[in-house]
Homo-oligomer: A and B are copies of this chain.
């Protein structure tokens, strides 16, 4: 058998190039040729890695989704183990992608989401990532709920519903920052206020530091 190449690492490299270009020129604005140039491979190499452009985009969205999810998980794991509420704050903050260094990732994500709303096969990886994040948030909220000494009379708090709200809020805030309707600071303030409200409903005292 002749030559052997590591397709997996090349695919990842190409996915990175896709992300860079999607950040600059939008989702449909990335061409196979530009991707090849960015990844420093030939057009033919890209074609051998992916049978079609759609397959390439699908891999790329999965790649970036996995990266974001993993970073959130890492942040949660690095949080103080005894305080699920603090971890929750960190997770939400990480999901919102508000910091300047993640602006590119946010643009990429938005680009793929918009594409998926119309292209259908792209919804798969996207849903996977959203489901993973929602599950993580749900778990953290449930954990924080249990940690509060005892249930009072009121507050029928549904962890899954709260997780969905938090995820949607973070996503919406990110979008509004991207189009310039909000500043990153304004969005962060809104997110923070929502978390404070959530903690109050949990009956948990507000953790000392939440960003």
- Which chain A residues have a beta carbon within 8 Å of chain B's beta carbons? 23-29, 107, 110-111, 113-119, 123, 126-127, 130-131, 134, 158, 161, 164-165, 167-173, 175-176, 178-182, 186-187, 189-190, 193-194, 197, 201
A127 vs B179: C-alpha distance in the bound complex, in angstroms? 7
Are the C-beta atoms of A167 and B176 separated by less than 8 Å?
yes
Q: Quick one: which of B117, B169, B171, B179 contacts A116, CB cutoff 8 A?
A: B179
Contact flag A164-B180 (CB < 8 Å), given A113-B110, A114-B26, A172-B169? no
Are the C-beta atoms of A127 and B180 separated by less than 8 Å?
yes
Are the C-beta atoms of A164 and B190 separated by less than 8 Å?
yes
Are the C-beta atoms of A179 and B28 separated by less than 8 Å?
no
A-B contact pairs, 23 of them (CB 8 A): A24-B118, A26-B28, A29-B118, A110-B113, A111-B118, A114-B114, A114-B115, A117-B175, A123-B179, A123-B180, A126-B179, A130-B179, A161-B189, A164-B182, A164-B187, A168-B169, A168-B175, A168-B187, A169-B169, A171-B172, A171-B176, A172-B175, A197-B197
Are the C-beta atoms of A190 and B165 separated by less than 8 Å?
yes
Are the C-beta atoms of B114 and A113 separated by less than 8 Å?
yes
What is the CB-to-nearest-CB distance from A183 to chain B, in angstroms, rounded to a whole number?
11
Q: Quick one: which of B25, B113, B187 contacts A118, CB cutoff 8 A?
A: B25
What is the CB-to-nearest-CB distance from A130 to chain B, in angstroms, rounded to a whole number?
4
By a CB distance below 8 angstroms, the chain B residues around A189 are: 161
In the complex formed, the residue of B with least CB distance to A111 is B114
Are the C-beta atoms of B190 and A201 separated by less than 8 Å?
no
In the complex formed, the residue of B with least CB distance to A23 is B118
In the complex formed, the residue of B with least CB distance to A114 is B114
Are the C-beta atoms of B171 and A175 separated by less than 8 Å?
yes
A116 vs B117: C-alpha distance in the bound complex, in angstroms? 16
Are the C-beta atoms of A172 and B181 separated by less than 8 Å?
no
User: Which among A23, A114, A165, A170 has the greatest number of chain B C-beta atoms within 10 A?
Assistant: A114
Closest 7 CB pairs of A and B: A114-B114, A172-B172, A168-B172, A28-B28, A26-B118, A171-B172, A130-B181
